[in-house]
Amino acid sequence: MAGLEHYNMTTNRYKYFRWTPRTAKVTFMFVGVVPTLFGILAYSTEGKWNLRAKRRGDVLTEY
């Protein structure tokens, strides 16, 4: 019975949402900073690792 009220709040979260400085920071982090960091990491390691058909003892880096 106690979980029913929590479920109701979860399904109607958009009705109770407010933009506060904390929610703005969290949103900015997940929308802007995290994808940017993943993009930089992916771009910087592009083509450096070849994991295809490697055996034990083989070198993973291409250069």
Whether 1 has a pLDDT exceeding 70, the answer reads no
pLDDT of residue 48: 81
- Angle in degrees, CA 31, 29, 5, rounded to 5: 85
Whose structure tokens read 């992916």? 42
pLDDT (tens digit per residue) in 5-62: 677 878 888 888 899 999 999 999 999 999 999 999 999 988 887 777 778 887 777 6
pLDDT of residue 34: 94
Whether 63 has a pLDDT exceeding 60, the answer reads no
